[in-house]
Chains A and B, each alone.
Chain A
Amino acid sequence: MTTRLSDNPTTRLSDHRWGMAIDLDKCTGCQACVVSCHAENNVPIVGEEEAAYGRTAHWLRIERYWEGEYPNVKAKFMPVMCQQCTEAPCEAVCPVYATYHSDEGLNGQIYNRCIGTRFCGSACPYKQRMYNWFDPVFPEPLEQQLNPDVTVRSRGIMEKCTFCVQRIRRVKEDAKAEGREVTDGEIQPACAQSCPTNAIVFGDLNDPESRVSQMARSSRAFRLLENLGTEPGVVYLKGGETRV
């Protein structure tokens, strides 16, 4: 799987191919990552009613699947964010290039360029693109803690997980100023940073020694909806079930 990533010309342009590995065996479904993602990326709060109607804006969600009948019920948790596909279905369909492929393997989203056709949202097999149905609302006191590194998006445009691109840039610039390479584990997206069990690991898939590359080579590794050929940058490690 990793060899296919490095075969792709778009990933060879740069030294980096940012990726993520998520160990489902460690995930407890605590949703700390969801909360930290909201805080880091100024993700709007839509409220109970809108959320029930499928308008949650979570860039990262915990998919919870129940298996079995009571009393033998098992829960499966799976944190799903934008999979940062190498062959991204969302990129080709945008009429104005508001979503594009960066040379570090990220699916960039240019909020200012988006006209809101929602074609990318329909094309995404993971349904991981969030639309701003209304102007964003941050109930008190959340409006006090908006992250100055991230724009607040207006209504009528698409947004999604960026792998905390602002943090990636910050670390890269710091490293450049100090005249050194970015070291493995130095970049921590909000979700990885806040995960109490360290289930989420972020790093460079082009570096064979990085932790994320090592995890991607695990026999438990799989990618979400791999059969569709999107070649996601997020690798999952198969986990057991949680008995409830």
Chain B
Amino acid sequence: MSDSVSRIKKSDGIIIPEDVRDQLLLTTLSDDELNQKMLGPMQKTGPMFWTAVVVLAAIFAWGLYAWGYQIYWGFGVSGINRPVYWGMYITTFVFWVGISHAGTMISAVLRIFKADWRRPITRGAEAMTAFALMMAGLFPLIHVGRVWKVYWMIPYPNNRHLWPNFQSPLMWDMIAITTYLVGSSLYLYLALLPDLGMARDNSTGWRYKLYRILALGWRGTEPGWHKLETALGIFAIVIIPVFLSVHSIVSWDFAVTSQPGWHSTIYPLLFIIGAIFSGLSALGSILVVVRWGMKLDFFLRKEHLDNVGKLVMVAGLFWLYIWFASLIVNWYGNMPVIRELMHDEFSGEMAPFFYTMMIANVVPIILLMFRRVRRSPILLLILTLSVNVGMYVERFLLVSGSLLRNYLPFNWGQFRPTWVSLSIVAMTFAGFILFYMLFTRLIPYVPVWEVKQGRLRYGTRLVGRVQVPTITQVD
């Protein structure tokens, strides 16, 4: 290891271009110094951190109270009605499942394509996937009328031979999301093992005890590394079909019905692209905040923000195209009820939402085309937050907005969310941020071993009298 560092030291400033050096964190720091750079900020929690924890925990507790209130008094307190049977809860469910998609995108897809700049940001993305899925997983419970009977959806043997209905998209949903949650959590945990070992060897007290248990006896032996690389290689490939299936299955909740505005064959694609768009944006926001909060400028450099910004922009362009495609098939189909829905969106009562969605999604795509914008953390934060506002509204229009209209005009409806449903939605946002914040202080946020590995790959060799840059195949 020290050999490679000295090789880079010799070549420093001569051969490896600056942006590559930034992306790969090629430095002259020793391994120990790198470890300390990660472990140090984890122990620092200022008053702002704890204020945020208290506020978020209070919002979370309030949301739990609202949920209890809803269970006790009945679903009527949540503000949905006939025909808007699915309101804020399903909208937010779709939103969280969407957010969860960036983690796999970043760490699995980029791992397979051997994009080295991914290394410092993979863990943040994977953790986002896990926590977003946990929040999404709450909604099937929140959303059902009799939550105490929800276990009937599990196919368990019973003496009355009752069985769930595998024709129902909700069953597909449950299976897909459970698979994705288990898969992505394992993937997160596997890649954590070397860093947990590192944290264990560098800490004392309760942290030592915690990491000793979590590291599962990781010693960094040759067979250990070999098995880890094999497992990660398999996971990275296996998780991609799951990742594609999850949000297309969520789209089938809507697309398989004959409800106007829900029934469209393009939705699986639109949902996947939209999920990647909003998920990458959420990752951009989180990276900026964590970088600022933990002072991780060393690991999370402008180069990484730049790359995430590019991904957001490309995903956004894809999303815009597919969204436009779904719009024109409706426009040319010209069914009376769809026409009514579109009229509502363009110039009717849903127009404020529609134009919010357009502006909040399209302006960031345009601005992120500029390198200077992508490299400015504050601008990136604002633009990526804007994308997620836009995507939330997009899901709201699709899920609840469509339900306002249907084939029989006698049944057209209205929708007013109540404090109960808004509190529960706020609960999941607060919960996500809270768990993520605690995660950053308990678990090494940057996969240090991956950074070190990336550093190993790049070096220079002396061929004759010429220093030649080399890339070594490590995995």
**Chain A interface residues (CB < 8 Å from chain B):** 50, 53-56, 61, 63-65, 80, 89, 92-97, 113-119, 121-123, 125-127, 129-135, 154-157, 224-225, 228
Stretch of B42-50, B164-172, B178-186, B338-346 contacting A (4+ beta carbons < 8 Å): B164-172
| Cβ contact within 8 Å between A132 and B74 | yes
**Chain B interface residues (CB < 8 Å from chain A):** 73-76, 80-86, 143-146, 149-150, 152-153, 162-165, 167-171, 174, 253, 256-259, 262, 403, 406-411, 413-414, 416
Contacts A121-B82, A155-B145, A228-B258; A127 near B73 (Cβ below 8 A): no
How distant is the Cα of A63 from the Cα of B409 in the complex, in angstroms? 9
How distant is the Cα of A55 from the Cα of B82 in the complex, in angstroms? 6
Contacts A97-B165, A123-B257; A117 near B143 (Cβ below 8 A): yes
| Cβ contact within 8 Å between A114 and B146 | yes
| Cβ contact within 8 Å between B169 and A131 | no
Where chain B touches its partner, the secondary structure class is loop
How distant is the Cα of A93 from the Cα of B168 in the complex, in angstroms? 4
How distant is the Cα of A36 from the Cα of B408 in the complex, in angstroms? 24
How distant is the Cα of A76 from the Cα of B371 in the complex, in angstroms? 63
Min distance, Cβ B84 to any Cβ of chain A, angstroms: 8
Provide the residues of chain A in CB contact with B152, threshold 8 Å. 96, 113, 115
Which residue of the partner chain, among B83, B168, B416, contacts A95 with CB atoms under 8 Å? B168
How distant is the Cα of A155 from the Cα of B258 in the complex, in angstroms? 27
Provide the residues of chain B in CB contact with A96, threshold 8 Å. 152-153, 162, 164-165
Q: List 15 A-B contacts (CB under 8 A).
A: A54-B83, A55-B76, A55-B82, A56-B82, A92-B165, A93-B169, A93-B257, A94-B168, A95-B170, A96-B164, A116-B75, A125-B406, A125-B407, A132-B145, A134-B73
Contacts A65-B410, A96-B152, A96-B153; A135 near B74 (Cβ below 8 A): yes
How distant is the Cα of A52 from the Cα of B82 in the complex, in angstroms? 11
Provide the residues of chain A in CB contact with B257, threshold 8 Å. 89, 93, 122-123
| Cβ contact within 8 Å between A133 and B74 | yes
How distant is the Cα of A114 from the Cα of B411 in the complex, in angstroms? 23
| Cβ contact within 8 Å between A54 and B81 | yes
Provide the residues of chain A in CB contact with B416, threshold 8 Å. 53
| Cβ contact within 8 Å between B81 and A117 | no
Contacts A54-B414, A63-B408, A125-B406; A93 near B256 (Cβ below 8 A): yes
Contacts A126-B408, A127-B411; A115 near B149 (Cβ below 8 A): yes
| Cβ contact within 8 Å between A127 and B164 | no
CB nearest neighbor in A for B163: A97
| Cβ contact within 8 Å between B86 and A97 | no
Told that A118-B86, A130-B82 touch, could you supply 16 new A-B pairs with CB distance under 8 A? Answer: A54-B84, A56-B82, A65-B410, A80-B408, A96-B153, A113-B162, A114-B146, A115-B145, A116-B144, A117-B144, A123-B258, A129-B82, A131-B145, A132-B145, A155-B74, A157-B146
How distant is the Cα of A64 from the Cα of B408 in the complex, in angstroms? 11
Task: From A64, A129, A131, name the one whose CB has the most chain B CB atoms within 10 angstroms.
Answer: A131
Contacts A55-B81, A97-B164, A155-B145; A127 near B150 (Cβ below 8 A): no
How distant is the Cα of A233 from the Cα of B169 in the complex, in angstroms? 26
How distant is the Cα of A111 from the Cα of B145 in the complex, in angstroms? 12
Min distance, Cβ A56 to any Cβ of chain B, angstroms: 8
CB nearest neighbor in A for B262: A122
Provide the residues of chain B in CB contact with A53, threshold 8 Å. 81, 414, 416
- List 8 A-B pairs, minimum CB-CB distance, nearest first: A116-B145, A156-B145, A133-B76, A155-B74, A134-B74, A54-B81, A63-B410, A118-B85
